[in-house]
Amino acid sequence: MLEPVTKFRTNKITLDDLKITGQRVLVRVDFNVPLDDEGRVREFTRIKTALPTIHNILDYDGKAILMSHFGRPDGKHVPRFSLKPVAVELQRLLGKDVKFAQDCIGPEIEAMTRSLKPGEVLLLENVRFHPGEAIDDPAYAAELAKMGDVFVNDAFGAAHRKQASVHAIASCFPGSAAAGRLMMRELRTLGRTLNDPIKPFIGIVGGVKISSKIKTVERVLPRVKKMLIGGGMAYTFIKARGGNIGDSTFEPDKLSIAEKILSGPGAEKIILPIDSIAAKDLAYGSERKTFPSGQIPDGWRGLDLGRKARSQYRKEIKKVKTVFWNGPMGYFEREPYASGTRAVARAMVDLAINGGVSVVGGGDSMAALYKFEFAAPMTHISTGGGSLLEFIEGKPLPGFRALSDRVNDISNGKHTGVKKS
């Protein structure tokens, strides 16, 4: 019998366990979103996925105080990493006024939180503008904690980090540090998909490097009927099998690991691309040719699934009820090499529309879905990158583990009660 992919504690209190009417609800969200060249938000998924928690707080006349990281300002106030553009888009998506604080700690900011009326929203400035965030400083966490009466962690994408606004802050709210709507949806959906899927179940793993996906392959492989591998990491496996990959990306120091996986239990489940679209360089207009994936000539670089591989992967997806996909099939950012990723995404859309389960994880996969406009039908698109991989690898997520325990808190008389009571 397989051990669960990960053993996270399910007795943490959630938003439903908090009395929030009239309270300042300090919510850790993940608003680390991409901006365009003009400094405007160009992809809204992480803002939209936070809306259920925010709406729930407002529906019960709570005061929503939101905090997030953004970029890597390295503990300094860097204007280009301000969350102000996010406040503009959040206001548009919420359909109501969103106040913005010029900092995330300090007496003036605390006064702003205390002046909020029930049903109002305040977004704090980037928590990484202070060095205490990165080092999980309890003193900095205590300053952040002054901004709320109760705490909700809804930042699944940051739950793998031991940082002040994610981890240390939970201890400042004994009995009232809860998981938000998105956090619980991610954990429950991913846990169900990987531990108790509707079968047949296959996995699809891609991306550039095998090094970042080794544990994913090892943990998911025993659970699936087939595992389809694409992207740059496929060429490390192909070379490990003795194929000629030309100038394709591969990791020489990971060949032994690939060989071990290909000769170990479940190796017969692994499907590698039959053929590849290759080019001599990435310049626009460069000549492209299709070669068998193990017969790519020197000077040519495999960049996408070939026609036969695309057909094979689509057929495999059509046979099953559940698919978990993490990582693109090629260099999808350039249209000549987007066909493989698009084919997989299209097949997963068809699966979801026909009642199957299509679960997608990873920033690049998510970006591809939105590029192709295939996101809406998917069963679930995870907002986690590192947190998703660590969840799959069975590692504890510090940001979730630190939250208040329902059983212990009730027995100690610290439980805050159910908000609807």
**CATH fold group of domain 199-355:** Rossmann fold (3.40.50)
Both ends of the chain: CA-CA distance in Å?
Answer: 42
Cα–Cα distance for residue pair 401/308, rounded to 1 Å: 45
Q: Which regions of the chain are under pLDDT 70?
A: 1-10, 407-421
Q: Identify the pLDDT of residue 407.
A: 64
**Candidates 48, 99, 192, 209; catalytic one:** 209
Kindly report, residue by residue over 67-121, the tens digit of the pLDDT: 999 999 999 999 999 999 999 999 999 999 999 999 999 999 999 999 999 999 9
Domain ranges of the chain: 15-186+397-411, 199-355
Q: Please give the single-letter amino acid code of residue 341.
A: T
User: pTM above the 0.85 mark?
Assistant: yes
Q: How many of the other CB atoms lie within 10 Å of CB of 284?
A: 8
| Distance separating alpha carbons of residues 364 and 280, to the nearest angstrom | 24
**Predicted local confidence at residue 418, as pLDDT:** 37
Helix (H) or strand (E) holding 99: strand 98-100
pLDDT of residue 232: 94
pLDDT at residue 398 in the model: 96
325, 331, 334, 337 alpha-carbon torsion, rounded to 10°: -90
Q: Any residues with CB less than 8 A from the CB of 180 and at least 6 apart, and which?
A: 14, 15, 27, 50, 53, 152, 153, 154
CATH of 15-186+397-411, one of 3.40.50.1260, 2.40.37.10, 1.10.10.10, 2.40.50.1040: 3.40.50.1260
Q: How far apart are CA 4 and CA 217, in angstroms?
A: 15
Which element (helix H / strand E) includes 323?
Answer: strand 322-326
Is 46 a known active-site residue?
Answer: yes
Please state, in angstroms and rounded to a whole number, the distance separating the CA atoms of residues 167 and 30: 14
- Find the catalytic residue in 180, 302, 356, 363: 363
Predicted local distance difference test score (pLDDT) of residue 151? 98
Question: Do β-strands 357-361 and 380-381 pair in parallel, antiparallel, or remain unpaired?
Answer: parallel
Amino acid 255: pLDDT: 95
Structure-token pair, residue 352:
């979801």
Domains 15-186+397-411 and 199-355 share a fold: yes
pLDDT at residue 393, rounded to an integer: 85
What pLDDT sits at residue 416?
Answer: 40
Identify the active-site residue in 24, 28, 46, 239. 46
Per-residue confidence (pLDDT) for residue 2, from 0 to 100: 57
Q: Which residues pair with residue 304 across a beta bridge?
A: 277
Catalytic residue among 386, 394, 401, 414: 386
